Every structure is written in structure tokens, then in C-alpha cells.
Amino acid sequence: MELVDVAVIGAGPVGLFSVFSCGMMGLKCCVIESMDEVGGQCSELYPEKPICNLPGHQSILAKDLIVSVKGQIAQFSPIFVTGQRAVSLERDEAGERFIITASNGAIVSAMSVIIAVGAGAFSPRKLPAEGACKLEGKSLFYSIKDKKKFNGKRIVVIGGGDPVVDWSIALSHIASRVSVVHRRDTFRAYQGNIARMNDLVGRGKISVYTPFSVKEMFYDDEALSTKIILSRAGIVGEGGSSCNTIAIETDYALAFLGSESDMGEIKNWGLSMQRNKIEVSQATCETNVSGVYAVGDCALYDNKLTLLMTGFCESIQAAYSISKKIRPDTSSKKACFFS
């Protein structure tokens, strides 16, 4: 049994920064992470994605952010339990500590718990196009682990959220051609980045196809490339008329259609939840279960902004609240580290 002050569930960037926040308050942490490596989606789905909304960084790759935060928390010697899910949360017999059991039977005893699981266990939403499954891992990808493979290549980016806009901008500097396909005319991304993408469209660096959906994709042996058939969204052309369909030849296709997530056993812990998120007090990030906190994308309160910086701030709020509860005589002194 690992005996600590705080059990942090989830080792994405916000979970890791929660260790730093707790460490600055003099609190010892154990981190439970379902994946084999720490970093969450920053490591698993988009390690090469540039993050441009953090103070002090014009741009930092997601994988480099994780390396930086890991170095930042090393001074506090956190305990890591990786490749294991936190399956149960109970009070001990005295009601003073939480007992968290991992899927391999490992047990962590903690005074408080910080849940930082993002949207939960995730997997990328697959492209529902004919022939797409046959090209997965060959010319169709749902994440970018090494963007160097796209140097000088023709790229089609599919979707309409922030990853699509971010990656279309980033790849336009190294690819021979970038085409963006979205089933709507508008994109769900930061306005500043949409403006940057539109500027690149005007300069001929990016082509945008809206409103179009991917109908079919297949490998063209003669052209030695992948052919993508687009259909105008919401319109079914008679006999697949040319005015409603477009064919694009490309080397690689990248689909960023969001992810399918599951909060798993956390849903059974008696926490108040809405829309697969955990309701918390905005001031402290404490849930309806005293001593259990939620931060980052999994936390919900009125007017919540789902930003990385928001999660970092929430981790400080939670750590300070925990410190006041379990070490009231030192919490105000420790809080000065953040001033």
C-alpha cells in the first residue's frame, strides 16, 4: 500500500501539474495512469502538435510540454502507478483516508484525491467512409507521432475542430499541398487560428473544401496515391453527379473527428456528474464528495473554459484547498510559493 497525501488520477499535463501544485504545498503524491506512459493525449494522440496558448511560449510541441512538466515535478519524487486504471474509491474504517484500488490490485491510501482524467479513457473517432478502414496506418492516420514523414507530401486534413486548424497551419510549412475537408462551412476553433488558416488559404498554401464529407477512399495503384471521393454534405446527387462529388489525390489523409471517451469506474464513485463531466465548486474544484477534487477537462462548473491554462489554474486551487484541510497550520505559508 502506497501512503501519500494526495492521489492524482490521470497523468496528462494537468494531472502532472497537479503534482507540482501539491508539491509546492508540501504534499506527497501518487499518480495512477491507465496508459503505460504519462502525458495523456499530448503523448498518445498529438505529440507533434504545437501548443500556442501558454504564457512564455510562442509555441511548444505537446511532447516537449510533457517533458518539461515531468522535469518540473521530479523534485517532489512522486510515485507513479502506470498502465493501471483506478477502479474503486472508498473510505478507510476511520473515515480519515481514501483507499484507491488499481486494476492490478495495487492500493493507494491518500488523504485527498484529485481526478484529472480529461475526457476519460479515449480512442479517436473513426472516419465513416467506404474503404477507410483498409487504409488505417498506411495512408490514413488519426494522430501524428512524427510530422517529418509529411515533408514534401500532399496532405488532406479532415474535420472542423482545433486540431484540424492547428495541423493545417503547421503542415502548410512542410507539405507540398494541404487540403482541408469539413462537412460544415464554419470551423469550431480559436478565431485567431481560423484567421491564420484563412490567410494561408488566400496565399495558396491551403485549400478548403466545405461543406463536403468523405464518401470513399481507396489506393490508386496506377497513380501510386490515395484517392478520396468527397460528396457535398447534405446533398445526394443523382447517380453521383460531378457537381456534387469531387476527387482528390493525396499521399496521406489525417482525420481529427474528436474522440470517444469513457469515464469508466469513476462513474460509480458517487460523484455528481453531467454530460460525462464531474461537477465541482469553481472556487476550490472540490466535488460533492468531501476530499475529492476534479480538475481539467473532466471538471464542470458554470462558464467553464476548456483550456489547458484553466486546468493548470484549477490544479493550484485544488492543491491549496487540500493543504488548508489537512495542514491548516502551514497552508498560508505554502501558498506564498505561488505569489
Is 297 annotated in a binding site? The answer is yes
Specify the residue for cell string 521530479.
74
| CATH code 3.30.60.50 for 126-255 | no
Contact between 84 and 78 (Cβ < 8 Å) = no
| CATH superfamily of the 2-122+259-338 domain | FAD/NAD(P)-binding domain (3.50.50.60)
Residue type, 87: V
Own/partner pairs, 22-25, CB within 8 angstroms, 24+ separation: 22/76, 22/114, 22/319, 22/322, 22/323, 23/73, 23/75, 23/76, 23/78, 24/319, 24/334, 24/337, 24/338, 25/319, 25/320, 25/322, 25/323, 25/327, 25/331, 25/334, 25/335, 25/337
Q: What is the predicted pLDDT for the residue at 290?
A: 96
122 labeled binding residue: yes
Any idea what DSSP says for residue 125?
P
Cis bond upstream, residue 328 (ω within 30): no
> Could you report the per-residue pLDDT of 278-337, keeping only the tens digit for each?
999 999 999 999 999 999 999 999 999 989 999 999 999 999 999 999 887 754 555 555
126-255: same fold as 2-122+259-338?
Answer: yes
| The pLDDT value given to residue 240 | 44
> What whole-number distance in Å separates Cα of residue 201 and Cα of residue 208?
7
Alpha-carbon distance of 59 to 43, in angstroms, equals 16
Please, what sign has the CA dihedral across residues 20, 306, 84, 327? positive
Query: What is residue 335's predicted lDDT score, i.e. its pLDDT?
Result: 55
Rounded CA gap, 142 and 132, in Å? 11
Q: What is the pLDDT of residue 35?
A: 86
195 is in an annotated binding site: no
Q: Is 282 annotated as a binding residue?
A: no
pLDDT confidence of residue 167 = 92
Q: Are 265 and 86 in contact (CB under 8 A)?
A: yes
| Residues of the chain below pLDDT 50 | 236-242, 331
Residue 209 is labelled as binding a ligand? no
* pLDDT, position 12: 94
Domain ranges of the chain: 2-122+259-338, 126-255
Q: Which of 93, 9, 94 is nearest to 269 (CA)?
A: 9
The per-residue pLDDT for 120 is 73
